[in-house]
Structure 1
Amino acid sequence: MENNNRRKMKWSALAVGAVFALSAQAGEKTWDFETDPFDDFEYIESTQLDYIWGGQGFDDWGAEGNPDGFFSITEATGGTSTIAVLPDIDNGDFVKSFNMKMDLRMGNGTTDRPADGISINFARSSDPMLADVQGGSAVPGNAATGGAAETGTQTGVAVSFDTWAGNSLPDGPDIEGIIVRVDNKTVGRFAMPTRHGAADDITSLQTGPIGGSDAAPDAERGDPTILDWVALEVDVDELGSLNVTYKGNKLVDNFASGFFPSPGQIILMGRTGGANESHHVDNLTLTTQLAESWLVAGLDGTANGFTFSFRDVGNSQVDADSIVILLDGVDVSAELTKSKDGEFTHATYVGDTLFESGSEHTVDVTASGNDGRSTSVTASFTAQSYSMIPADLALEGVDTGTKGFLLFIKQKDGGVGNNTQERLDHLADDSENVADDFQSDDYTWTVDLINFDQDGNPQGEFRDSGNGDSMDVPDDYIPGIPGFTDSTDNITGFIQTVARIPEAGFYTFGFNSDDGFLTTVGNDSASQIRVGEFSGGRGASTTDYTVYFEAAGDYAMQSLWYEGGGGANFEWFTITPNKALLNDTANGGIQTFAALPNVPARVTSATPGNGAAGVSPNNNVVVTIEDAASKVDAGSVSLSLSTGETGTASKSGGVTTVTVDRDGALWSPAQEVTASLNYTAGGSERSVDWTFTVQDYPTLSKGRTDVGSGSDSGFEFRIFQTATSRGNNTADAEAQLAGTWADGEENVADPAGSETSDGPGVLFNVDLINMDQDGNAQGVFRDSGDGSSTDRVDDPIPGIPGLTDSTDAMSAEILAYIEFPSAGYYQMIFNSDDGFRVTETHGAGDAAGMELGVFEGGRGASDTQFGFAVIEAGVYPIRAIWYEGGGGANLEWSTTDGASRWLINDSDSNALKAFRSRSGTPSDVALPSSGGSIASVGLSEGNVVIEYSGTLKSSESVTGPFNAVGGASSPYSVEPTKAAEFYIAE
């Protein structure tokens, strides 16, 4: 099968030699801002239009540019955003590189912590940000992260000066520092963690002190005149080499960004939120270079090859016969296929063997053109990620009598965690199934297609559109739903089928789901290979995943699907070679059969399963084996773990269950555990191993007092509401709670019935955290009348509605001393509309303790589950914040043992107790040493070699988070391809 699965890869121009380039300086323009730039820029949109030009001479600070006028992206006020598009100084000609110099003044906000930053962008001409500005919006809804100007544009090259860490980029967390993104991919993070540093402090983005500090004790907050102007230069050449010089230091030096030239425009933008600072620009000079000769246009990598591209400029073209390429040092020029597509020339290599999934490769390219120019370029790409399915997993003798799928539906009366592992546990447990089993075979239905919605409404990608294409397929109702409780929530489904793969090669599948899913390939739970997954909650969205089948044949495939609350839908389809639902053969879909593998005995459940990640550290390991063509000899069954623990087996009827009962013992954070299963069925012996990874969980250690030291049962609940809305994120909620949001906008929460507060907002003493803005039934804990642990009446949110009768734009701080009566692993659930964050200690804002659980942003009433260890029983200070932007508002804080859940401080004997005060002297718990350490770091053949003991973890930031390096063993060798990578051993 031809490999048509191509992915845009990072291409890194690392070396250039023998270049005889024909180029011209296309344009140069300087803005000194002595006059108003409003009519000179192509577009300016701002929430502070009256303040964008510093030459207007405001009474509070005057025209304090460098000298005189300047351009103000934001003042030190909350909730400000500006987008400026520089004019095309090249009249539409093709620009291959640019250089931008400016003076920058940044810092001294009215809040202790500066925010949020600016970005300098070369946006391709198709960038959706241009529509934002042309539509009159000053808030960049089409930025890399919607509304966050500092994250930059979605296309081209974006250099972000991010002064507030804690927001999310499309592909991971941000940092305080410089972030480089190319075509919506983060390619470099350069930490600058010092806040309010001096003009020569290269570890700080700010250009001077904050008012009232030791460096400026008499200065006022928000006054930009105490800051210095410093020079900033950003340079991107035609090969994507990026240099950033700031405060006289080259912070980013010839960084291979992967950028390739195209038509586009320069965009400057920035913002503040609840926290703020000044962002000022002066003496901006833009210099561009026109392309007058053919150009390198990019590199696409695949799983077994690549395509290197060149672009014509006018009559200047690369000579295809001159192209010579070395792949990882080996000359593959004779195996290249060259093609011409309009103004592009492509050189394509397809190898006989596959690259390792996600592996890094280097190409050295030389070429010359019809204009006498020659070039030599070294570039790199990351091979396509895929899952490999070996030929020995293909089945023989499949029952092909019934086409389609076997769909099992299980529904729980009550909440169940919205993640993959808990739903696998839900399938395996003996909890009551409240789905309607009408027309089923013990809750299993035979279905033709996987395209379901809880109400039979159009959802996902395949729907009744009426246009007659392969995606014009009506949604069907989910079998068994609504269940006997009339609910359409808390559903877990399991789909089994045999897919007929017509020929070896790559297949890209898609799974559209609300909420999560897991797809595996293999004959039973012990040998299945995970190929695609989304673990968590979401609206109807697609995850695509690529699978390579070594041989044609019939392969057992399974998909877990699950839903927590709200909408519920799922679709299973291929994207390539054809976009069609599985078994929709009329539209090119892969044929499937509603059959199970014909094997002597079948491992129907292995928990945790092969490749499972985020496994709870106190999990037992349970395997069930069902007799099939033969019977399992129960005496032959053994299950052992790499940690030394072993299981016991029992058989009932045709089902053998083997369990490693760990009695609450904890694996180490991020530990990799291997399970080994052996058994005999019908005289055939089987041995199979699989590996799973424990979640990297935290351990409480701060401010412990003895069990029994708590007093004054309940929580302190401090609420702050403003008349104007704020960002729906943790940072803005913290600013609101600190009273600094929007320059200290007053609290309008209703104080009736409140206590005396020692902080901004209104303080109430409450017994439980189970609240809704209207006191209506929301979340999991509600007035159901069934007498269960979740049968609890919702309370109104104290202080809400506020003095303006609003139930929006509020944040709450919840403080408690929670008693953990014994050592062990504890799991909490926070159900919220909208976001929350739970931390160790009562520290707030920048002083907040270790994060235990978080959901950032907006959502309807939904669960987030998180866990942590307690190694010494006691009473610990715990803080939560909760916030809501608009619409519904609710919050619940509970614990769970995986089967049941209880509100914290509930009267149920299983509930943890919470207190508003305590006695005794707090002390920190000494955490046990993991024994891990780094023994040495050296260089060998250009690679960094780390010798260590314990578990090796890495992070792109010195402050973490650190995650285990998959498959690492000592000595560990790594190629230093990233701008920075930090390692620890634990």
Structure 2
Amino acid sequence: MRYIRGQNMRVQRTTSLNKRRGLKASIIVGSFSLLAAVAHAGTATYNFDADPSTQLKIVGNNPEPWKNAGGNPATGGFLAITYPQGSQYTGVLFPDIDTGKIVTAFKFECDLRVGNSTGDRPADGFSISFARSTDPLLAEIDGGGGSTGPFAGGVPEAGSTTGIAISFDTWSGNALPDGPDIEGIIIRVDNVTILKQPMPTRHGACADTTSLQTGPRDAAYWAGGGEPTAPEAWAGLCWQPFSVDLDGSAKLTVKYKGKTILNQFQTSYFPTPGRLILAGRTGGANEHTHFDNIKLTTVAVTDAAPPTAPTNVKAIAQHARRIKLTWDAGTDDSGRVAYEIERNGTLLPGYATGTSFADTKVKPDTSYTYKVRSVDPGQNKSAFSAAVTIKTPPEVSTFQAGVMKWEAFKDIGGTALDPLKDSDKFKNNEPDEVRTVAGYEGPTNIGDNYGARITGFITPETSGSYIFFMSTDDNGELYLSTDDKPANKVLIASEPQWGAVRAWTAADRRPGCPDACENRSAPIRLVAGKRYFTELIYKEGGGGDNGAVTWIKEGDPLPANGSPALGGKLVGSFADPNAGPPSIVSQPVGATPPAGGKATLSVSAIGTAPLSYEWSFQAFGERAASPLAGATTESIGASAPGIYSVTIKNEEGTAASGPAMLIKEGTLFIEAEDFNFGSGNYVKDKAIGMSGTYAGGSFSDLGSDADAGIDWNNPGGNAGQPYRPGTGVAAGKPNQHPDGIPRGSFNVAVNHVVGWNDAGDWQNYTRVFPQPAKEYSVIGRLSSGGNAINGQLDEVTAGAKTANQTLKKIGVFKPGRATAGWDIMEWFPLTDDAGKPVTLSLGGEKTLRFTTQPGANLDLDYLMFVPADGGTTPPPGPKIDKITKSTGNNIVIEWTGTAVLQSADAVTGPWTDVAGAASPRTVPIQGTTKFYRLKQ
């Protein structure tokens, strides 16, 4: 509601008593208490018609977080988290409307206005969090804290690490504690992601549910020197509703623009006191983020009856650094119980919401005593259970190739290394956490205020002089021994400030670059087969964190930023192969099986048994990978062309493999960066992807501006051109995403994309195709930042060495949509204008042209030419083709392929076969959400 003009903005609070809760709960669980709990409903409404700073704690560098007009309605004010201005941050802490009571349910509602960035790509995003009262973020904002610190992943748009956090992430590229972010809405509960909803359309229409923004970008306004905080800057944007609803059974519902993003998802959230936090930031890119008509409704409980104590507590030492506890559940009149655990007389932080707990903060060959007690939503606690004592075994390790030892020393502040080196736990070799990691790289973005150490051995396959590269966030040092003894290690490189993830050759914050970059070593002579001890230590203060090492042989090309760290047989460490989360020691390798044949794809991993394996497959042209039915072993047979990967799980964690590409025999590649030069010339004396292995780089430094209009037309945007510097074409952007490197049975080592392609940009590619001519289908690997993919492939039938060229249209890459971001590549088939895949006959020397069409803005990685004959492609799997509204209150589901239709009330299941279902299937609409899938 809006208050009458002239009054201050106020918080409206309503508290009521609901005495039926205790009665209902007592009947359900058979409690003797008929009135054990009292629920309080609180409501706070904020309309921002007056300055909110008297009610809210607002921090950051936003000079005008409140406007007294321009809200919804326009006569009222609004809260501005960001404007389209660079490097802006705002954090807002709301008061505790329940005065410390336990919040069992809440609903947050507001109106949002988002968009009109000064550039085409907006950034960085904002978050809405209901954080637990113990979250350090509350104290950080209350104390005026800045844009980094105890946010998830160290970024405000990710929200809190406790409670419920909703992230509106408008710029993908950061890493959350449990994986990468996306451009879209990310929902997390207690720092665990439960949904990533891609929203790839940038600057979509007001009601476009595929767009985070609530209106188009006004390029003309910015071209005319528009003011970011003037009303005209948001005139083209509308207000759209947003809501988060957590009910008393911990089921979560999220809605935006009238669309349900998440519906009654069962979470593990356990009630505690909490407070609302809004936060957001911009970077070099930016946009508006405005809030109005905020309403927070909570249900808080006061409960006097304690739960019963857990019984039958048992402990087992699974290995030297992990103890697992199990117990029989306690009971409570509320029907909900969590558990607190005491270890050696000290209460561990947090709750266990199930009847088991794994303690990984233990040391080898040490005894521990545990007790467990029940806690109910009102924070009433039972007596402790009987104590149980157990001793961990000694640590026994064997040498394992492909892995390194990673250790964390926690609760050490700052970015400098000295506090880490001077700490007792570091000097006494008493880490807080130990992991076995795949390759010479630590986990990324996992916390703040810690130091890390990675140790192991390097064994070169060939003798020679090697140059090492490191990248850490924050300060770091790299050591290498003259042999396998740690005592002989010497410092060979350092990180003076901080580097981005795998920023091997970046000059940022490395004052010695380009001539004496601190993060790279001098050439070091190493002997093949000899084992050398190595150590990387690095410090993390706040924000992002990472640490990794790679190398090159002297004289080889510099490693591309983003390329993988050292791994495989080149590294190794002593580890217990039966302990810890899964670590992959041998990745699946792509293949090019003979026509009609199969390839065997295998993975090898270590970790606490049992390990489970889940293989996935993504066919070229499909948008995402799907699980492979029955593929649950270390090795599988495969024949269908596409991308294969495997996820390995155990009780302690998950490891995802890199991609393995399977291609048909005879498949050819044209790398986008390898376009013609010198008026129709191309490389003829080196591999270029048309036969056998191609490591990339054959066109490096070739071409000049004189080739414009003959070999290419692409002014380059504002990207660099280190690969083809004389041409001006933006072919300098490394594409080292793991799925961009494989080419079947080989990988490219030097891989770039042609970026900044706008309407009318083109590149010519002359290649010699095998004779006799064959029929090929063509697949392009492309990405875009918001505009729909739209490219055309032509054959240059005459004049390829002149500016007067004759073109014959072959087909288009026009899927009618964008990808989820610039760096998120997808495979798209070449089709005719009607969307039907086309094949073309190619043999001998041909010149092909790729042209970016009007309205498009895209990056091109490569073109893949797949023989229309040869190879074995199984028939496509079952697929839901369409769902349509039928007569009456019904829908019709149609599918192809042999499969069983299943339904569920939630996307997580349980799933039930629909008896006798055949396509088409008519289903009544019953007013509740239903999910359908096909089981093969």
TM-score category, normalised to shorter length? 0.3 to 0.5
Query: Which TM-score applies when normalising by structure 2?
Result: 0.43
Query: Which TM-score applies when normalising by structure 1?
Result: 0.41
